[in-house]
Amino acid sequence: MAGLFASRRRRLTIGAALLAVVLVLLAVASLGSGAVKIAPADVVRVVTAWATGDREALAGRDALIILSIRVPRLLLGCLIGAALAVSGALMQGLFRNPLADPGLVGVSSGAALAAGFTIVLGDRIFGTVAAQLPFVLLPLGAFLGGLASTLILYAIATRHGRTSVAIMLLAGVALGAFAGALTGLLAFVSDDRQLRDLTFWSLGSLSGASWTKVATVTPLILPVLLAVPFLARGLNALLLGEAEAFHLGIPVQALKRAAIMMVAVAVGASVASAGVIGFVGIVVPHLLRLLFGPDHRVLLPLAALLGAILLTGADLLARTLVAPAELPIGILTAAIGAPFFLWLLLRRDRTLDA
């Protein structure tokens, strides 16, 4: 037993150290890249001065660009990437299905639908409030939409205090399709400006990052990231089956409710801040399972780190591939995730045939 604990701790330590080094290198590259190039040594100098409170060293153009624009964008990308990756790992553990993703249960679609309503009908419903608080209503609407879709899904799948995972998965697919149809209808009746806003929102972007958004999202996502390791033991037991997990002393229904609410909060806050960014939740957990195995005590912490790395890297590419323009980040994550998803399906099909 001591050997098993030592092995898990060693894998977690090695994996976390490697991923942390990659994340730091990517962060320096991200903070130095953009319309104004800043050397890595200057990036380190500015960040060090900021961390130590050296105000004299922060009086310059580079410091203004890094601290006002690029640091909030980096922090927002790390938070959202970690939230989406951890949500994917939670859903796959909960459904005991490696193809599960937060998008499948309708959380992302519900948030996108509410955001679409805010963009297209916000002026008519909220009047002058929509014009005065455009940057509050849109994220708030998306967050409430994701939360509402999750609660509807939970109500459909729960009977007599028991939640059916199979019904939840199938109902999530149906709700996602229905929300997608309504979002398409909103696009049909929108004018040119609304259609452009709706399209960019659905493709995802970190271009609107600010310290205000970071301050808004952090109290929602950070508690989820800190709490998910406490679900690891229950998710490991759930891999054996619900009955087996119950006999091992796991409160299965409470575990399901906790995992679902965490996914709703994390994904809703992410979509509210940066639009719909797909495939992070399915790519990251699978890569980690290939490298470190299925133990959720290792998988969940490392998923947060790798999710932050993936979204930071995708954002760096989005800002540099077609500079000075910027690609929507959802295009890049889909370009990476869709082939990986197909490879996963083919690999799973071959395994079943064997």
Q: Per-residue pLDDT tens for 267-298? A: 888 887 888 888 888 888 888 888 888 889 98
Least confident range from 84-88, 126-130, 262-266: namely: 126-130
Residue 179 pLDDT > 80, yes or no? yes
Residue 238 pLDDT > 60, yes or no? yes
In this prediction, what percent of the chain has a pLDDT beyond 90?
A: 16
Mean pLDDT, range 215-243, rounded to an integer: 88
Q: Do 253 and 243 touch, CB atoms closer than 8 A?
A: no
Highest mean pLDDT out of 142-156, 173-187, 297-311: 297-311
Residue 90 pLDDT > 80, yes or no? yes
Residue 169: what residue type? L
- Using a 10 angstrom Cβ sphere, with 0-12 exposed, 13-18 middle and 19 or more buried, the burial of residue 344 is middle
Q: Is 36 left (phi over 0), alpha (psi -120 to 50) or beta?
A: beta
pLDDT for 157 equals 76
Mean pLDDT, range 89-102, rounded to an integer: 78
pLDDT for 113 equals 85
pLDDT for 11 equals 77
Q: Do 256 and 246 touch, CB atoms closer than 8 A?
A: no
pLDDT for 3 equals 54
pLDDT for 134 equals 57
Residue 135 pLDDT > 70, yes or no? no
Mean pLDDT, range 49-74, rounded to an integer: 82
Residue 18: what residue type? L
**How sure is the predictor about 109, in pLDDT bands with cuts at 50, 70 and 90?**
confident
Q: Do 183 and 112 touch, CB atoms closer than 8 A?
A: yes
Mean pLDDT, range 98-102, rounded to an integer: 71
Residue 105 pLDDT > 80, yes or no? no
Distance CA 12, CA 301 (A): 8
- The mean pLDDT of the chain is 81
Furthest CA-CA distance within the chain: 66
Residue 198 pLDDT > 60, yes or no? yes
Mean pLDDT, range 168-189, rounded to an integer: 84
Distance CA 34, CA 103 (A): 31
Residue 5 pLDDT > 60, yes or no? no
Highest mean pLDDT out of 2-11, 49-58, 305-314, 345-354: 305-314
Q: Do 224 and 259 touch, CB atoms closer than 8 A?
A: no
Distance CA 141, CA 59 (A): 38
**How sure is the predictor about 4, in pLDDT bands with cuts at 50, 70 and 90?**
low
Q: Do 123 and 197 touch, CB atoms closer than 8 A?
A: no
294 DSSP assignment:
S
Residue 159 pLDDT > 60, yes or no? yes
More confident residue, 64 or 157: 64
Residue 349 pLDDT > 60, yes or no? no
Mean pLDDT, range 329-341, rounded to an integer: 81
Residue 247 pLDDT > 70, yes or no? yes
